[in-house]
């Protein structure tokens, strides 16, 4: 039977949707058929303001013409080229543009997603330690409530229980730092809380337990996004950097969410002035037009691989069929131009105070137990209904959607991360809609 002989109704049943309550969704589906700028449009023509940049990824807004044109031209010229032992010009051009955005990082390796970027970073860390004669360093340290994608490496160093519990032992040799979220000390703080830098010293306890000679790397999100926008205490990240440097442990920042303007700088490591050894990106790298990710390594790491491997040998046995895909590179180059021409990172920094006040105006709403923010990231944490975790936030999500606003929920936290093209009127609409929704949520 040929494909043309198959007639299948679009009944929604064939698709197993990721991170979704499939049964509930298919009883009452929420579908988008178009998008433009700050808005999605449903098949029946309803307009929904995107309060989450899709999934933290459409930083420049939807359906940007320069990106569309770049991808369209590229697919007519070169649809695919292998990245193993052969290359194409755009991948080298894009890598140069990316490394030119941030000091002290001279090389990138391309991936296709944040999950792949994390697994790539972990493998680079292991191989680097071995290449410098530290082959005993095989342990990783993640953090409670951390999210690092859905590969086995990412869920191993991640610290979100539902993402881990079904999948057995995963990687061995993993420890986790305490998370930094503390309602007693930090509830309703605007920006970075003053309390909590000492929590970084938990790493010293882990070093004492295993000895530094066995630990390859520590991986954290500068701002923990998917777990509910957990803001690092003042001095916390600098302290982690100091401890890692002291013990010869690599520090990895997962910047899949915080990269490309979310905090008002190119990357969070610039915003916090803390330089990791490796940092991961994805999402905003192409404005989500074509899937892509990239792993940045600090100066000198790539050189070690080149020096250790014999001449003519592959230096690092790792990569993906679609690493540096021509369409993704075209989308990425065009995306960087949109960011530059519209000065969107500076725009995000300029709007951050207004966004902060709008988000914190919801502090007095029913069931709200915390409000957090940094840059154009915000969270409204709701008190959970006893024995019904996530129910209250999911009700808020559904009611917001009905009122024309897309928000993100994690646990009982409403997360907000609008595109960097957001205007004050959009921020006002987000705050007003969430306020109205919370009045009606049980």
For 8-27, write each residue's pLDDT tens digit: 667 899 999 999 999 999 99
Separation between Cα atoms, residue 397 and residue 404, nearest integer Å: 11
**Helix boundaries (H) for 211-286:** 236-247, 268-271
What are the pLDDT digits (tens) for 221-279? 999 999 999 999 999 999 999 999 999 999 999 999 999 999 999 999 999 999 999 99
What are the pLDDT digits (tens) for 119-155? 999 999 999 999 999 999 999 999 999 999 999 999 9
Q: Per-residue confidence at 199, pLDDT binned at 50, 70, 90? A: very high
Which domains are seen in the chain, by residue range? Answer: 3-60+343-440 (3.90.1150.10), 67-341 (3.40.640.10)
What are the pLDDT digits (tens) for 343-379? 999 999 999 999 999 999 999 999 999 999 999 999 9
What would the DSSP string read from start to end of 11-34? -S-S---TTS-HHHHHHS-----E
Q: Per-residue confidence at 7, pLDDT binned at 50, 70, 90? A: low
Residue 314's CB is within 10 A of a number of other CB atoms, namely 12
Q: Is the pTM of this model over 0.85?
A: yes
What are the pLDDT digits (tens) for 405-430? 999 999 999 999 999 999 999 999 99
Q: Is the pLDDT of residue 184 over 70?
A: yes
Average pLDDT, the chain: 96
Residue 400's CB is within 10 A of a number of other CB atoms, namely 24
Q: Per-residue confidence at 87, pLDDT binned at 50, 70, 90? A: very high
Q: What is the pLDDT of residue 169?
A: 76
Buried b (16+ CB within 10 A) or exposed e, 194-215: eebbebbebbeebbeeeebeeb
Residue 304's CB is within 10 A of a number of other CB atoms, namely 16
Exposed, middle or buried by CB within 10 Å (0-12, 13-18, 19+), for 339?
buried
**Which two three-digit tokens encode residue 177?**
């730092």
């Amino acid at each position: 039977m040929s494909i043309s002989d198959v007639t299948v109704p679009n009944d929604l049943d064939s698709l197993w949707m990721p991170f979704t309550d499939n049964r509930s969704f298919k009883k009452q589906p929420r579908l988008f058929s178009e998008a433009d700028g700050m808005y999605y449009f449903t098949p029946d023509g309803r307009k929904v303001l995107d309060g989450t940049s899709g999934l933290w990824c459409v930083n420049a807004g939807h359906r940007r013409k320069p990106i569309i044109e770049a991808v369209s031209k590229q697919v007519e010229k070169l649809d695919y080229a292998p990245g193993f032992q052969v290359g194409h010009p755009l991948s080298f051009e894009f890598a140069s543009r990316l490394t030119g955005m941030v000091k002290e990082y001279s090389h990138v390796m391309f991936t296709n997603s944040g999950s792949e970027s994390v697994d790539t970073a972990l493998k680079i860390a292991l191989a680097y330690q071995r290449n410098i004669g530290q082959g005993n360093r095989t342990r990783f340290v993640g953090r409670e409530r951390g999210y690092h994608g859905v590969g086995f490496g990412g869920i191993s160093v991640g610290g979100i229980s539902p993402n881990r519990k079904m999948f057995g032992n995963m990687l061995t040799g993993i420890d986790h730092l305490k998370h930094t979220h503390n309602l007693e000390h930090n509830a309703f703080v605007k920006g970075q809380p003053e309390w909590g830098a000492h929590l970084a010293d938990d790493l010293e306890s882990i070093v004492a337990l295993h000895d530094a000679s066995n630990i390859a790397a520590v991986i954290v999100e500068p701002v923990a996004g998917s777990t509910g926008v957990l803001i690092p205490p003042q001095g916390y990240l600098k302290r982690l950097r100091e401890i890692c440097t002291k013990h010869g442990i690599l520090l990895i920042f997962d910047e899949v969410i915080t990269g490309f303007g979310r905090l008002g700088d190119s990357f969070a490591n610039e915003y916090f002035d803390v330089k990791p050894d490796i940092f991961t990106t994805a999402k905003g790298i192409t404005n989500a037009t074509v899937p892509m990710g990239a792993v940045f390594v600090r100066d000198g790491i790539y050189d070690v691989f080149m020096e250790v491997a014999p001449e003519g040998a592959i230096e690092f046995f790792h990569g993906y069929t679609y690493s540096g895909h021509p369409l993704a590179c075209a989308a990425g180059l065009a995306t960087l131009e949109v960011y530059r021409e519209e000065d969107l990172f500076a725009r995000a920094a300029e709007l951050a105070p207004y966004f902060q006040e709008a988000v914190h105006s919801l502090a007095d709403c029913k069931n709200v137990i915390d409000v957090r923010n940094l840059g154009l990231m915000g969270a409204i944490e709701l008190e959970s209904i006893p024995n019904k975790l996530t129910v209250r936030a999911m009700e808020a999500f559904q009611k917001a959607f009905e009122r024309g606003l897309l928000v993100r929920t994690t646990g009982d936290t409403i997360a907000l991360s609008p595109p960097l093209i957001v205007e004050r009127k959009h921020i006002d609409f987000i705050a007003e809609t969430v306020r109205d929704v919370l009045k009606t949520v049980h």
